[in-house]
Amino acid sequence: MTVPTTQPTSEEESVFFFDCDNCLYTQRPLLQHKSAGIAHLMGERIQAYFKRMGFPEEKARVLHQRYYLDYGLAIRGLVKHHEVDPVDYDREVDGGLPLEDLLKPDPELRKMLQELKMKKWVFTNAGLAHAKRVLKILDIEDQFDGITYVDYSEPDFSCKPEPPYYFRAMKEAGISDHSKCYLVDDSAGNIDTAFKLGWTTVHVADNPQQSTFGHYQIENIIDLPHVLPHLWALDNHIEQ
């Protein structure tokens, strides 16, 4: 893996990159059944898309899993091997999710983000409209300085865990020093790429004691201050 050799400036501000789906709202005690519902519904919609293309149910399941593992997103495999319109896929899968019925504002998450006094950036494999919907419903959209998202209209669009997508996120966030990049993500593959690039990584895992990915492992995103206390140490008694 080749890392760009741009020389960082000592004045660069650190950036904390946050994955969106199944990370910002996953495994929270009050939302556990609801966040699981989102993952389940998304899987159902992807499976239905494969079947709509004419694949039998078992073949659809196998291809769905294979393309996700091989390309980071099922749609990447569909575009590469079946010439599917990715914009149509995004509209049918992410665009049709009833997020407003499954999520709600999260004051505890909002407070944690407010107390993190550094640049915060959403780094997602979803499209922009979907990411904005999630942030708005959780009432945290004003806590982030920007979003790196998958533009399905771009030919040969990239996504996590491909290194070029990480370099793009760094460029968009205005940082070149890999040692000043932080990532929290629920995908072991996404965490592994960031780890190899020299980012500080936190894996949100169902069983953090069993995860060997990243520098730190947590079950809830709200636990971030426990594994990286120095980032919250300057201002962790803010009155909201």
CA 38 to chain centre: 14
Alpha helices in the chain (DSSP H): 32-52, 57-71, 74-82, 86-93, 99-102, 107-114, 128-138, 163-173, 188-197, 224-227, 229-232
CA 191 to chain centre: 10
Arithmetic mean of pLDDT, 121-145: 97
Which span out of 23-27, 41-45, 169-173 was modeled with the highest average pLDDT?
169-173
Q: Which CATH architecture has domain 33-99?
A: Orthogonal Bundle (1.10)
Tokens 């020093």, located at residue: 177
| Whole-number pLDDT of residue 227 | 98
Tell me the per-residue pLDDT of 174-193, one tens digit each, with 9 for 90 and over. 999 999 999 999 999 999 99
Binning pLDDT at 50, 70 and 90, where does residue 234 land?
low
31 has pLDDT over 60: no
43 has pLDDT over 60: yes
Mean pLDDT for the chain? Answer: 89
Write phi, then psi, for 212 (nearest 5 degrees).
-115, 15
Arithmetic mean of pLDDT, 26-41: 57
Tell me the per-residue pLDDT of 57-73, one tens digit each, with 9 for 90 and over. 999 999 999 998 888 89
- Is 0.85 topped by the overall pTM? yes
User: How is residue 196 written in tokens?
Assistant: 């190899």
| Whole-number pLDDT of residue 240 | 38
C-alpha torsion angle, residues 77, 81, 82, 87 (rounded to 10): 40
Of the two residues 71 and 171, the one the predictor is more confident about is: 171
Binning pLDDT at 50, 70 and 90, where does residue 37 land?
confident
3-state secondary structure labels for all residues of 135-169: HHHHCCHHHCCEEECCCCCCCCCCCCCCHHHHHHH
How far is the C-alpha of 105 from the C-alpha of 139, rounded, in Å? Answer: 5
Query: 130, 25 in Cβ contact below 8 A?
Result: no
Query: 27, 222 in Cβ contact below 8 A?
Result: no
Q: Where are the domains of the chain?
A: 15-30+104-235, 33-99
Nearest to 127 by CA among 152, 146, 108, 106: 152
CATH of 15-30+104-235, one of 3.40.1390.10, 3.40.50.1000, 3.40.50.2300, 3.30.300.90: 3.40.50.1000
CA 137 to chain centre: 16
Arithmetic mean of pLDDT, 167-178: 98
146 half-sphere exposure, CB direction, 13 A CA radius: 14
